[in-house]
Amino acid sequence: MLTKLFQITLLATGTLIGSGLTPASASTAGKVVEIKGEIIDTWCYFSGVMGDSDATRGTAHHTCALWCAAGGIPVGVRTEEGEVYMVLKFKGEDPLEQSDTIMEIQSDIITARGMHYLRDGVNYIVVEDVVANDGITYLSHEDYDSVPPFSAPKKKK
Amino acid sequence: MIFRALLASAFLFTANAHAADFSKGSKAKEWNLYGEEKALFSGKVVDILCELTGNCAANCGDGKRHMGIVRSADNQLIAVLKNRQASFNGATEDLLPYCNKMVDVDGLMIGEDEVVTTKFYMVQLIRISGEDKWNKTTRWTKQWRAKNPEAKGKGAWFRRDPRVKKQLAKTGHFGLGLEFDAKYLEENE
């Protein structure tokens, strides 16, 4: 009986270690980080629905990023190396608060300080402070115009 | 010897879980997205912040937090980016009624990024685990109308959304200012 119990425990432990998984409902250890990156719309960036990932950043995609942020699609911070941190809180606010906070930083390059959590290959960040905001620096409209095309400005009737 | 065999079995089991094919039985609609794979699975709907940190809010944040699904088959936290609607809508409004409940979901895993190799989920159908009737994930627009009664009118919601309009009025469509937009219009007439 004891041997069987030992075997089951060993199997469970081995499985968790091998997978890098966390037991359900257990908190994940976070660590303080400072990262610099562009505020992006994670859906358009990862899915390819609007074209390649470079087209879904910067000026070309700014209006679409506003639409997606207002639509409740998770916002991410994309570093120069291409890592993406999904924002779970931003300066004390939940990300889907109906406020302007998350809208005002779309497509900006920010330096964010906060708590980083990694689970199952996804980076998450609770942004506690924005140390610097360089604004929009990636002039992607020069290559991609407006993405999607119907997000371009229109003359008022 | 027994120890090695058990450990090897455990790792083999894990490898299989990672490579598991969740497409069997899926009726998800194809979108032809990067790395798209149909995925039908069961799991628990969670507030991601709560799941990761223990910072939990009533009713999973009541629509203000991003939500995910802890997949029963392998205990992976699946980040859900999108519902089934085709107009820039996230998934929280559709997951919220199932906060902390066991569900079956059908949809698409997407993504084939070189750096971020994990896939993300688009949930198209959801039901309480074991129930017969599936529900389409189309709650977003109705909830938006309820939150924005002043934005009544014709056309897509994103053309009328007060927060979007406020930002566009400040930064322009490219984020480079209203003068840039005016110049763009002149050059693209």
pLDDT in tens, B75-91: 999 999 999 999 999 99
Length of chain A: 157
Closest CA in chain A for residue B88: A68
Do both B119 and B34 map to the same domain?
yes
**Separation in Å, CA B152 to CA A70, A100, A151, A155, B165:** 16, 20, 21, 22, 14
Are B181 and B92 contained in the same domain? no
- Chain A residue numbers with beta carbons less than 8 Å from the beta carbon of B44 are 24
Sign of CA dihedral A53, A59, A64, A65: positive
Q: Which two tokens stand for residue A29?
A: 């250890």
pTM confidence score: 0.87
Better-scored residue on pLDDT, B114 or B13: B114
Give the three-state DSSP class for B152.
Answer: coil
**How do residues B3-37 score in pLDDT, each as one tens digit?**
444 444 444 444 444 558 999 999 999 999 999 99
Residue B189 pLDDT grade (very low, low, confident, very high; cuts 50, 70, 90): confident
Tell me the pLDDT tens digit for each residue of B151-173. 999 999 999 999 999 999 999 99
Q: Check residue A143 and give its pLDDT.
A: 97
Q: Is residue B114 domain-shared with residue B168, that is, in the same domain?
A: no
- Residues of B with Cβ-Cβ distance to A122 under 8 angstroms: 77, 79, 116, 118, 120
CATH label of the domain that carries residue B101: 2.40.50
Same domain, B166 and B122: no
Residues A136, B176: C-beta atoms closer than 8 Å: yes
Q: How far is B41 from chain A (nearest CA, A)?
A: 16
Write out the DSSP string of A81-148.
TS-EEEEEEETTB-TTSSSSTTTTTTT-EEEEEEEEEEETTEEEEEEEEEEEEEE----THHHH-SSS
Q: Is residue B10 part of a domain?
A: no
Q: What is the pLDDT of residue A27?
A: 67
How many domains are contained in chain B?
A: 2
B171 is a domain residue = yes
* Cα gap B17→B19, rounded to integer Å: 5
List the structure tokens of B170. 């400040």
d(CA A124, CA B52): 9
- CB interface of B with A, residues 133-162, below 8 Å: 140, 147, 158, 161
Q: Do A73 and B89 count as a contact with CB atoms less than 8 A apart?
A: yes
Is the bond leading into A148 cis (omega within 30 degrees of zero)? Answer: yes
B104 and B52, same domain (yes or no): yes
For chain B, state the CA radius of gyration. Answer: 21
B86 and B29, same structural domain?
Answer: yes
Q: Is the pLDDT of residue B149 over 70?
A: yes
**pLDDT at residue B66 is higher than 50:** yes
- The domain made up of A29-141 has a fold known as OB fold (Dihydrolipoamide Acetyltransferase, E2P) (2.40.50)
Q: Is B128 in the same domain as B39?
A: yes
Whole-number mean pLDDT of chain B?
92
Interchain proximity B92–A124, CB inside 8 Å:
no
Closest residue of chain A to B159, computed from CA coordinates: A67
User: Is residue B100 located within the same domain as residue B174?
Assistant: no
pLDDT of B2 higher than 70: no
What pLDDT is attached to residue A28? 77
Mean pLDDT split into 10-residue runs, chain A, 157 residues: 42 38 58 98 97 95 98 98 98 95 97 98 98 97 97 86
Domain boundaries defined on chain A? 29-141
Does residue B136 register a pLDDT over 80?
yes
Distance from CA of A111 to the nearest CA of B (A): 19
DSSP state of B165: H
Task: Give a yes or no: residue B41 inside a domain.
Answer: yes
User: Which residue among A67, A89, A153 sits closest to B158, beta carbon to beta carbon?
Assistant: A67
Contacts of A157 (CB under 8 A, 6+ apart): none
Q: In the prediction, which pLDDT does B19 show?
A: 56
Chain B residue with minimum CA distance to A44: B88
Q: Are A140 and A153 a contacting pair, CB within 8 Å?
A: no
- Note whether B159 and B80 are same-domain residues: no
Residues B59-74 have a mean pLDDT of: 98
Interface of B with A in 75-114 (CB under 8 A): 75-79, 81-82, 87-93, 110-111, 113-114
The answer as to whether B76 is a domain residue is yes
ipTM of the complex: 0.90
Which residue range(s) make up the domain with B113?
Answer: 21-137
Binary contact (B167, A7; C-beta < 8 A): no
Cβ distance A18 to B11 under 8 Å? yes
pLDDT for position A29: 86
